[in-house]
């Protein structure tokens, strides 16, 4: 008998603090930037600035080469051991998996390759040619809103249009907007309180084994909160639609 077809058809997963238990962007800042980076991070956590401005201001403080930063990422940090089995399981069920990161991004694909994770879409910010201290391009940002570098709302909506209901897995402040638009949310750490404040139903997770078990147990899915206008919409464009 073929396996029961799960209602979720795609999984969008945060990277820093999620696929990798450590926040690699934060660890790079600790190693290569002065303490001021943390003051900027607090502005972001308080909602005073968006993640795009936070990233640009923090990485402008960096000294050192991208090669040294990548070496730190690969030598000191690794993908959670329970993530590759989730990817294999999802592939066996015909479920798409994407990694969506609003961090520095340049270390995501090398870290996935080091863990033998292949065939997963990686949607993140792009370092400019001279390195992260020189700035970023935002190929996965919103075409109008400038709040986030990588627009997780847009990614979730795109994957729903292409494949069907989407599960979102995350843990931090940059995951708020992805969670608001996902059909099923797996939350850990800061995202738990964020979901409670936004009245987003969620399943708490610790390892990706919990995510797989939660998805296997689903028979129906709740409707996403999906506000008409994303709460992070750029203040300068308050009357614009939240997505094309």
pLDDT in tens, 208-241: 999 999 999 988 887 899 999 999 987 444 444 4
Partners of 167 in beta bridges = 11, 184
pLDDT tens per residue, range 39-67: 999 999 999 999 999 999 999 999 999 99
Structure tokens at 223: 């409707």
Partners of 99 in beta bridges = 13, 122
pLDDT at 4: 54
Q: How far apart are CA 115 and CA 162, in angstroms?
A: 27
pLDDT above 60: residue 72? yes
Note the CATH number of domain 10-216.
3.40.50.1000
Nearest Cα residue to 71 out of 98, 107, 102, 21? 107
Where along the chain do its domains lie? 10-216
Structure tokens at 153: 């709302």
Q: How far apart are CA 142 and CA 64, in angstroms?
A: 30
pTM across the whole model: 0.92
Provide φ and ψ at 96, rounded to 5°.
Answer: -75, 145
Nearest Cα residue to 28 out of 84, 2, 67, 83? 67
């Amino acid at each position: 008998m073929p396996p029961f077809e799960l209602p979720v058809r795609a999984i969008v997963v945060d990277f820093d603090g999620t696929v990798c238990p450590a926040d690699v962007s934060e660890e790079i800042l600790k190693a290569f930037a002065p303490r001021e980076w943390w003051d900027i991070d607090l502005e972001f956590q308080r909602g005073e600035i968006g993640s795009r401005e936070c990233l640009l201001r923090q990485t402008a403080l960096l000294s050192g080469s991208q090669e040294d930063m990548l070496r730190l990422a690969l030598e000191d940090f690794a993908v959670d051991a329970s993530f590759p089995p989730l990817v294999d399981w999802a592939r066996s069920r015909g479920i798409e998996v994407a990694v969506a990161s609003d961090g520095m991004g340049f270390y995501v694909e090398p870290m996935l390759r080091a863990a033998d994770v292949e065939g997963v879409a990686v949607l993140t910010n792009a370092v400019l040619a001279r390195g992260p201290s020189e700035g970023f391009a935002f190929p996965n940002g919103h075409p109008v809103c400038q709040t986030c570098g990588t627009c997780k709302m847009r990614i979730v909506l795109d994957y729903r249009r292409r494949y069907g209901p989407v599960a979102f897995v995350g843990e931090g402040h940059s995951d708020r907007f992805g969670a608001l638009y996902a059909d099923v949310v797996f939350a850990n750490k800061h995202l738990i309180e964020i979901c409670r404040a936004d009245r987003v139903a969620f399943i708490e997770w610790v390892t990706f084994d919990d995510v797989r078990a939660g998805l296997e147990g689903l028979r129906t899915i709740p409707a996403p909160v999906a506000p008409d206008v994303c709460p992070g919409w750029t203040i300068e464009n308050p009357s614009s639609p939240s997505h094309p």
